[in-house]
Amino acid sequence: MKAFVNKNVCIFCGMCGGACPNIFFADYDSKSVALDIELTGELLVMARHAESICPVGAIVIKDVLQK
Ligand code: SF4
């Protein structure tokens, strides 16, 4: 599983980075971006939490085989 941020939707509120700074961080374009890593265990739990608190639904967590 990997996390993705839809930059067309992200309003850069900072909530994902605040809740899960080891996966989500600010990109050069003042949008959030997710680290390109396979998420398992505690990291996956944290990413799902960030997904749940994003106010605009910009975070998607999906199996990387489902492109
Ligand atoms: S929580 Fe959502 S809207 Fe806020 S910075 Fe993260 S991806 Fe963007």
Average pLDDT over residues 35-56: 97
- Specify the pLDDT at position 67: 52
Distance 12 CA to ligand 1 centre (A): 5
Mean pLDDT of 46-56: 98
Residue located via tokens 């971006």:
33
Which residues have any ligand 1 atom within 6 Å of their CB? 5, 10-16, 24, 32, 54-56, 58-59
Residue 66 pLDDT > 70:
no
Structure tokens at 34: 């997710």
Measured CA to CA, the distance from residue 61 to residue 39 in angstroms comes to: 9
**pLDDT, tens digit, for every residue of 8-42?**
999 999 999 999 999 999 999 999 999 999 999 99
Single pTM value for the model: 0.92
Q: What is the pLDDT of residue 51?
A: 98
What domains are there in the chain, each with its CATH number? 2-62 (3.30.70.20)
